[in-house]
Amino acid sequence: MKLWDKGYDINEAVARFTVGRDRELDLFLARHDVLGSMAHITMLESVGLLGKDELPMLLAELRRIYRDAEEGKFEIEEGIEDVHSQVELMLTRRLGNVGKKIHSGRSRNDQVLVDLKLFAREQIRLVAEDVRALFEQLQQQSERYKDVLMPGYTHLQVAMPSSFGLWFGAYAESLVDDLSLLSAAYHITNRNPLGSAAGYGSSFPLNRQMTTDLLGFDSMDYNVVYAQMGRGKMERIVSFAMASIAGTLSKMAFDACLFNSQNFAFVRLPKECTTGSSIMPHKKNPDVFELTRAKCNKLQGLPNQITLIMNNLPSGYFRDLQIIKEVFLPAFDELRDCLQMAAYIINKMEVNKHILDDPRYDLMFSVEEVNRLTTEGVPFRDAYKRVGMDIEAGRFQPRKEVAHTHEGSVGNLCTEKIRGLMEQAWESFDFAKAQEAERKLLGK
C-alpha cells in the first residue's frame, strides 16, 4: 500500500531503494504517529471534515493501535511503505471507508514532522532523566570524597593539588550546562508543524491551534514553509545538545580509564564491571568506559552527519531528509545506555585515599609554598624564585596541606550551588504539560 498510489506500478528495485530503511526505523515513530493522528482527526471533526459518529470509532481504534505499539506488537507489513501507510491500512481494514478520511488536510510531510517532534520530545525527557541520575551519583561521590586530595594535571604533568571532590563535582557541573543546552533544544522541538501539509498549508479550514493544544506543544511552527524547513534543523539542534552530553561522558571515561590504570591507581572500578584477558590472568580491563568513550565520540559526530545530509538543500521537501532518520532515531538509545552505565559504575567506584604517600607528587605543593611565603610578606616573584631554586637543588620539602577557601575550590566545592543550577535547568523543561496532553488524548 502506498498513500500516493495512482493505479500504476513502479519498478520494484526503485521501490526498495526509495523506501530504504523506513519500515524498520518507523517503528520508533509508531506511537507518535498514532498520537498525531488522534489530534488531527479530533480537529477534523471540529471543523466538519469528520462526522460526530465517526470520531469515537477512529479514536478507539487508534488507542488500540497505540497499545499494540506500546507493547511491541505493532508491525509494518511487507509491501507497506511506512508507518503512516500501516496505520491508515489498519484503520481501513477495521472501519472501512471511515479509515480513509484521516489524511484530509495533511501530507506525509507534516505527518512525519510531527512524529519526529513527538518522538524527540519524549526522548529528550528520557535523556534528561538519565543526565539527572548521573548528576546525583557524581554529586554524592563529590561529597563522599571531598577531603581526599589527588594530583591535578596540566600538559599531563603533575601540577597542583586537586581533590576527588573537585573531580567528581566538575563532571556534575558540566552536566548542568549540557542539560541547559538540551532544554533549549527541547523548546525548539516542542512546536507544532501539523497543518503545514506539504509545506504550503491547506485550503481546508484547519484549526492548527487546536492540534497544538491537544498535543501539548508550547506553540506552533507558524509559517508553513518554515515548518517544512524545520525538518533536519530540529534534528541537528537536538543532536548538538546530545553531542555536548556525549563530550562530557567521553572526557570522564578517558579520565576513568587513565586513573584506573596501575601507573596511576587513583581509582578502582568494581571488578564485576571489568572484563578479562584470554591470555593474561591478572587483567581487569575498563572496557565499559572504553566503549563509552568510543560511542560518545561517535555521537559527537552526529551534528556533522546531519549537517552534511541537509546543508545544500533549498526550501521545500526532499527525500534526502529520510536518511537523517537512520542516524538520528537510534542515537538516543545509545546515549542513554552510556549515561546509565556511567551512573552505575560511578556509584560503585572507589578512590585511593593514599595517593600522596608517593613522593613523585611532592612537587605539586610548590605553589602552596609560594603562596605561603607571599602571605608572609615575600613578594610573589621572589617567593616563586626561591621555591624554584629549592626544587632545583633538591631542598624542597612539601607541606601537604591546602587552605583553599574561595568558591569552587578544594575547600569550598559549592555543591549546593551546583545542585541549584541543576534544578533550575530541570524545571526549565516543563515536561508535565506534554505528558498531561498525551494522557488526555489516550483517555488515561
Structure confidence at residue 147 (pLDDT) = 94
Torsion of CA 125, 129, 131, 133, to 10 degrees: 180
Which CATH number covers residue 26?
A: 1.10.275.10
Q: Give me the helix-helix angle, 54-70 and 30-46, nearest 10°.
A: 170
- In the chain, the number of structural domains is 2
Indicate if 186 and 324 belong to the same structural domain. yes
- Per-residue DSSP letters for 331-396? HHHHHHHHHHHHHHHHHH-EE-TTGGGSGGGGGGGHHHHHHHHHHTT--HHHHHHHHHHHHHHT--
pLDDT tens track, the chain, 444 positions:
455 455 556 667 766 666 667 778 999 999 999 999 999 999 999 999 999 999 999 999 999 999 999 999 999 998 898 999 999 999 999 999 999 999 999 999 999 999 999 999 999 999 999 999 999 999 999 999 999 999 999 999 999 999 999 999 999 999 999 999 999 999 999 999 999 999 999 999 999 999 999 999 999 999 999 999 999 999 999 999 999 999 999 999 999 999 999 999 999 988 888 888 789 888 888 899 999 999 999 999 999 999 999 988 999 888 899 999 999 999 999 999 999 999 999 999 999 999 999 999 999 999 999 999 999 999 999 999 999 999 999 999 999 989 899 999 999 999 999 999 999 999 999 999 999 999 999 998
17 and 117 belong to one structural domain: no
Residues 90 and 121 in one domain: no
Predicted pLDDT at 17 = 66
Asked whether residue 94 falls in the same domain as residue 235, the answer is no
The angle at the Cα of 181, spanning 180 to 183, to the nearest 5 degrees, equals: 65
**Looking at 255-349, which runs of residues are DSSP E strands?**
267-268
Q: Which three cell numbers stand for residue 93?
A: 481494514
- Say yes or no: 264 and 232 in one domain: yes
Domain range enclosing 87: 12-101
292 vs 188: CA distance, rounded Å: 28
Pair (22, 167) in one structural domain: no
Q: Judge if 125 and 57 occupy the same domain.
A: no
pTM for this structure? 0.93
Is 332 domain-assigned? yes
* Cα 15 to Cα 28: distance, rounded to the nearest angstrom: 21
